[in-house]
Amino acid sequence: MGEGVMVFAPAPQLTVTIEQVGHEPELHLHAGGQAIWQARMISSLGVPVTFCTVLGDGEVGQALTSLIEQEGLELKAIRRRSDSGWYVHDRRGDDSRQEIAQHAGAPLGRHDNDELYALALSEGLKAGLCVLSGVPDPALASPDTYRRLGTDLQRNGAKVAADLTGDHLAAVLDAGLTFLKVSDEELYADGLADESAGDESVVKAAKELAERGAETVVISRAEKPAIALVDGEVLQVHMPELSVRDHHGAGDSMTAGVVAVLARGGDVREAIRTGAAAGALNVTRHGLGTGRADAISELVGRVRLEPLEDA
């Protein structure tokens, strides 16, 4: 296997953002969605990325093709007649995101799922590590596709990381994971942890996720220290305190930072520190999944991993 990463991306989206610069509005077009944000950060950390996806043949899909290729990713795409998803955000005014319109796209059909599975399996077996990314709407991609892909990649020697929730998370846990990242809010929403029970419930959830098949688990918790379960030890991940411009995408940057280090054969604790540094830097910027590699490297040494007492 190589030292690159295969990112499984069933449903990227075209993002259209309106911003105000001085007296004039500006229009920005980007490829977006969890998989894109993760792939962008992995690539920025110097790890080659193969991006396996499904794109429509319409105008949105054509625009996404060009934008993904401009990211420096190796694009491997299945084409279909139904066009890709998109959303339009207005960031004028107080700089918050106001959604004007959105369309997640059409669910993948049986043929689309089968073709994407075969493509991702082939490319994933060539890579050193595979990332199974989520979709903006759970109905867009079948959990069974995730289950089959995760299982077959693992059976044939590939390592698998995931950042998923709900039925898609349950599907890949059965396959076994090298690394899993999930947020505490997602655990609460899925009924895997009780918000009123505090740290104890989150730690319990991390241990249960490990028992179900995740080798290393990291649970992000917004402004609170993340919780990591590494080799049976529960750790708090204390990140550098930086000024926040936009908290969106921090968790995806964290996942990407961990994956980038693991793909190069690095130590899992160093990987978690790098992920924490990438997530911390991302919130200082408007672009999701963005950050300078040199700044992230400098912040890594300021991330502390401390045992959680009584865990």
Instruction: Decide: pTM greater than 0.85.
Output: yes
How large is the average pLDDT for residues 40-49? 94
The C-alpha atoms of residue 180 and residue 172 are separated, in whole angstroms, by 10
Residue 233's Cα: distance from chain center in Å?
24
Reduced to 3 states (helix: H, G, I; strand: E, B; else coil), residue 46 is: coil
All residues at 6 or more sequence positions from 138 whose CB lies less than 8 Å from its CB, including other chains: 166, 167, 168
Q: What is the pLDDT of residue 37?
A: 93
Q: Considering only CA atoms, which of 51, 20, 206 is closest in space to residue 116?
A: 51
Q: What is the pLDDT of residue 222?
A: 81
Can you give the residue range of the structural domain that contains 178? 5-307
CB 11 within 8 A of CB 139: no
**How much of the chain exceeds pLDDT 70, in percent?**
92
Q: Could you tell me the strand order of the sheet in which 224-230 lies?
A: 74-80, 49-56, 5-9, 129-133, 159-163, 177-183, 214-221, 224-230, 233-238, 304-307
The C-alpha atoms of residue 4 and residue 259 are separated, in whole angstroms, by 10
What does the mean pLDDT of the chain come to? 90
Helices vs strands, H then E, count in the chain: 10, 14
| Number of domains the chain is built from | 1
**pLDDT tops 80 at residue 245:** no
Reduced to 3 states (helix: H, G, I; strand: E, B; else coil), residue 193 is: coil
**pLDDT tops 90 at residue 284:** no
* Position 202, amino acid: V
**pLDDT tops 50 at residue 87:** yes
CATH number of the domain residue 169 falls in: 3.40.1190.20
Q: What is the pLDDT of residue 95?
A: 62
Q: What is the DSSP letter of 153?
A: H
User: For residue 304, what are its two tokens?
Assistant: 């502390």
**pLDDT tops 80 at residue 263:** yes
How large is the average pLDDT for residues 65-85? 95
How large is the average pLDDT for residues 213-239? 93
Least confident of 55-64, 106-115, 205-214, 240-249: 240-249
Pairing of strands 13-21, 24-32: antiparallel
